[in-house]
Every structure is written in structure tokens, then in C-alpha cells.
Amino acid sequence: MSDQPTKPGLPPGFLIRPATAADVGTILGFIRALATYERLLHEVVATEETLRDTLFGQTPRAEVVLAELDGRPVGFALFFHNYSTFLAKPGIHLEDLFVLPEFRARGFGKALLLHVGRLAHQRGCGRYEWAVLDWNEPSIRFYKALGARPMDDWTVMRVTGEGLERMAELAANGGP
């Protein structure tokens, strides 16, 4: 059952629903398809097992909603809570939003984006944020049309793999 009735402009049979552990294979398929689109498939190391543990295990770290048309998964959104000290409120970070190519330009991506935005509002969040690759002009135009604005004064920083291991070692040994 959907927690979102069909909206005007969306076809009957379209719904967005929370994912369950039974959807892990579908979620991994969407992650791989998104990574292929973003030219980053070589970076995907997620497995059904790791997704099951991190999304549906004892301490879920993120949430997923699936968009379906007549029972067929056509897209997904994966998001998690963050926190703004300036606002003293939680926020939602949208990590992934993806619609299968053959189902694009039908309002499904917009419906997913708005669905998560509605959840942020309902949960009292002060922010709803996501990142987009600089070269992805169609998505940037789409997001701007919905009122999103780029954060030009900020640079995303990331530490992974060996760098993260090195940080842990430095912290364990009292610093640099």
C-alpha cells in the first residue's frame, strides 16, 4: 500500500512506498544503474548483504522509498538524516535519486524528490540537501526549476578507504 495517493499528472498505478528488506536486490540494481549513468560503476562495492545490514538491520543508517508503476519498480530514492547546528534541527540528505531511463520525463523523478521533501517537512527538518555532479546539466536544471539552489561557496570533502584507516590510526595513537 502506498503512503502517497496518485497525484494529478501521474498515471493510475503509480505509487511510492517505503522499501523493505525483500527489496534489497531491487535497490542494488538501482544503485548499479545510477552508478553506470554517473560513470562510477567501478566504485560500487555494495552487496545485498551489506545493504540488508545497513538499511534494514539492527541500526538502519538510511531509508529507501521505491517508485512503482503497476507493481514494477521504476525508480528509488535513498536518504538519511543529518543535523544543522545553526538551525538546531535535523535535516534530510538525499544520497541517491534514480529513475530507469525508459520511465523518465513522466514526473516520477519529481514525485520522488517531492515525496522526500514532504517527509523532511513532516519530520520538522530545517534542510533538505543533495549533491549533483557538475556535468549533470539536465538534473541541475530540473532541481533549480523546483527551487533548489547550488551552494557555490561550499566544497564537498571526502575521506574513504585507506585515508579513513589512516585517520583511525592517527586518532588511536593520539594524533599526527
Give the pLDDT of residue 7. 62
φ, ψ at 16 (rounded to 5°): -120, 130
Evaluate whether residue 3 is within a structural domain: no
Give the pLDDT of residue 8. 63
And the C-alpha cell for 169? 590510526
Among residues 60, 103, 102, 90, the alpha carbon closest in space to that of 78 is found at 60
Q: pLDDT by residue for the chain (176 residues), tens digit each?
A: 344 445 668 999 999 999 999 999 999 999 999 999 999 999 999 999 999 999 999 999 999 999 999 999 999 999 999 999 999 999 999 999 999 999 998 999 999 999 999 999 999 999 999 999 898 898 899 899 988 999 988 888 888 889 989 899 999 988 77
Evaluate whether residue 2 is within a structural domain: no
CATH number at residue 142: 3.40.630.30
Give the pLDDT of residue 47. 98
DSSP labels for 51-81? Answer: HHHHHHSSS---EEEEEEETTEEEEEEEEEE
Evaluate whether residue 42 is within a structural domain: yes
For the annotated catalytic residues, the residue numbers are 143
> What total number of domains does the chain contain?
1
Evaluate whether residue 7 is within a structural domain: no
24: containing domain: 14-172
Evaluate whether residue 35 is within a structural domain: yes
Evaluate whether residue 8 is within a structural domain: no
CB 112 within 8 A of CB 69: no
Burial, 47: exposed, middle or buried (Cβ in 10 Å; 0-12, 13-18, 19+)? exposed
Evaluate whether residue 4 is within a structural domain: no
Evaluate whether residue 159 is within a structural domain: yes
